[in-house]
Copies of this chain bind each other. A is one copy, B any other.
Amino acid sequence: MILDGKAVSKKILDNLKVKVGNLSKQPHLVVILVGNNPASQIYVKNKKLAAENIGIKSTIIELDSQIKETELLNKIEQLNNDSDVTGILVQLPLPAHIDKNKIVTAISPKKDVDGFTPENVGRLAIGLEPYFYPATPQGIIMLLDEYNIPIEGADTVIIGRSNIVGKPMAQMLLRRNATVTICHSYTKNIESKIKTADIIISAVGKKIVRCKMVNNNSVIVDVGIFRDSNGKLTGDVDFDFVSPSVKYISPVPGGVGPMTIASLMYNASKVYDR
């Protein structure tokens, strides 16, 4: 059975549109784009469109790739103090001369719609409510919940340990009382770990989950997205061979991608007092 991220995302966004329409204060998302990376330009434009579609005010601030770190920090400080701005998102990657961690850390935790600041990450890790959960893991939980897939007590395997997906995913699954195994490039016998898991979340960016590794009850969530040697958009999972052998699987495209957008918009629709 297909985990239809596109359909679930649409449903969430429709609900958010109603919610935003009823807010006493219109949310305002500011997206900062440094330089002219073509992929980043598309992502930023899509985020702006998604926000506007559900009634969130949205501004893109385009900055020169040569901008000094201190200037960017000043810009963020100004947005932190601007009571009209409710969400700030710095599109990654940043140019090499800018310290990404310094920039992310500078965003007010109450406007950090990506959920990447140390305070929000730390709150997630110690069991406090963060102001924002990271978009991709939150979107995956929303997708599993929509299909009533049990998380409590499930054996879950996460492949990949990035700050954006793998590590926060582990925290969020733990909160829901799953048993969590985090695998990565140093993991041995990964096949047997995948084979015995109930839920497998793969976020690697290369073909890794093959038919022989899964079982009839596996739930497969494919976070990877890249172009194969024929230029076709694909994920970490060998979809054609794996999909007939498992219980649930998310496609690429149309699975985690749209859920990440819905989840980000869920965050962008939150308004905190300063």
Interface residues of A in 155-203 (CB under 8 A from B): 155, 161, 163, 167, 170-171, 174, 177-184, 186-189, 193
Distance of A182 Cα from B122 Cα, bound (Å):
18
- In the complex, what's the smallest C-beta–C-beta distance from A173 to chain B, in angstroms? 9
Cα distance A255–B171 when bound, in Å? Answer: 28
Q: Across the interface, do A127 and B163 meet the contact criterion of CB distance under 8 Å?
A: yes
Per-residue CB contact flags for chain A residues 102-122 toward chain B (1 = under 8 Å, else 0) read 000000000000001111111
- Chain A interface mostly helix, strand, loop or mixed? mixed
Q: Which residues of B contact A178 (CB under 8 A)?
A: 186
Tell me, rounded to whole Å, the shortest Cβ–Cβ distance linking A107 to chain B: 13
A153 at the interface (CB under 8 A from B): yes
Interface check A152, CB cutoff 8 A = yes
Give how many copies assemble into the complex. Answer: 2
The answer to whether B152 touches A186, judged by C-beta atoms less than 8 angstroms apart, is yes
Q: What residues of B have a CB within 8 angstroms of the CB of A153 in the complex?
A: 186-188
Q: Let me know if A57 is at the binding interface, CB within 8 A.
A: no
CA–CA, A187 and B180, complex, Å: 9
Closest chain B CB from A174 CB (angstroms): 6
Selected contact of A188 from candidates B163, B179, B186, CB within 8 Å:
B179
Does any Cβ of B come within 8 Å of A101's Cβ?
yes
- Is there a chain B Cβ closer than 8 Å to A72's Cβ? no
A12 at the interface (CB under 8 A from B): no
The answer to the question of A128 belonging to the interface, with a C-beta cut-off of 8 Å to chain B, is yes
Measured as residues with beta carbon below 8 angstroms from the partner, the interface class of chain A is 35 or more
Tell me, yes or no, whether A123 is within 8 Å of chain B by CB.
Answer: yes
A126 at the interface (CB under 8 A from B): yes
B118-A123 in contact (CB<8A): yes
A211 in the interface (beta carbon within 8 A): no
Q: How close is A115's CB to chain B, nearest CB, in angstroms?
A: 11
- Cβ–Cβ < 8 Å partners of A121 in chain B: 121-122, 125-126
A124 contacts across to B, CB distance below 8 A: 125
Check A163 against B126 for contact (C-beta < 8 Å).
Answer: yes
Shortest 7 CB-CB distances between A and B: which pairs? Answer: A118-B122, A122-B122, A121-B122, A177-B186, A181-B181, A179-B187, A153-B186
Can you list 30 A-B pairs with a CB-CB distance of less than 8 A? Answer: A101-B128, A116-B126, A118-B119, A118-B122, A118-B123, A118-B126, A119-B119, A120-B122, A121-B121, A121-B126, A122-B125, A124-B125, A125-B125, A125-B163, A125-B167, A126-B163, A126-B167, A152-B186, A153-B186, A155-B188, A161-B174, A167-B171, A174-B184, A179-B183, A179-B186, A179-B187, A179-B188, A179-B193, A180-B182, A181-B182
